[in-house]
Amino acid sequence: MMKNLLYKELRLAIHPTMCIFLAMPLLMLAPNYPYYVVFMYTCLAIYFTFLIGREQNDIFYTAALPIKKTDVVKGRFATAILFELASVLISVPFAVISAKVNPNGGNAAGIEPNLAFYGLALIMLGGFNIIFIPEFYRTARKLFRPTLFSAIFIFAYIAAAETAAQYYPSPVSEFLDRAGIFPEHLPILAAGIIIYAVLTFLAYKISAKRFERVDL
């Protein structure tokens, strides 16, 4: 069932610009760049998927299939998670190359692309999931509130994370903003993975419950 739902999403619901957004991890090679923006583009790609699905009445087509309404939500979540994780994995080789080319760091625009960064980026993606997707499934049509709330969260999160990591000198910034791979950053990465998984699971449960109440 899930395989068929994912296949349907990839064939019919994915926005054509998805391939362009999957190339955004190339920005990890930029010497001075706020790398969180790479994953902000990931969130934007997911927004476009919901937008084109709404404009093409995809949700009504999917709901007309012999599946549960929760499966409709499950298919869309599978697509979002696949794209988010693909973006993260694609970015890793470029982050490694960036660290090799600039071993001393010196990213004047933001945090270095280290393990701590990836943990914090996953938390941002999880936060986007639990704000944007459940808010959309409140009506399964309106996108203004989900877009507004998630945009406010993303910009506030990036500002806070970058301030803590770079722009406010402290032991925290010295610990986070280091170029290279450091074992002491592994707990932050692990915490990011766990928080992402928990927030995304909760987002699914809330979305499925809300969509059950929507009268199509």
Q: What is the pLDDT of residues 181-205, one digit of tens each?
A: 777 779 989 999 999 999 999 999 9
pLDDT 10s digits, 43-69: 999 999 898 888 877 777 777 777 788
pLDDT at residue number 2: 67
For residues 112 and 116, give the distance between their C-alpha atoms in angstroms, rounded to a whole number: 9
Q: Give the pLDDT confidence of 118-153 residue by residue, as tens digits.
A: 999 999 999 999 999 999 999 988 999 999 999 999
Gap between the Cα atoms of 216 and 70, Å rounded: 14
Give the start-to-end residue ranges of the domains of the chain. 2-212
pTM, to two decimals: 0.89
Confidence of residue 176 (pLDDT cuts 50, 70, 90): low
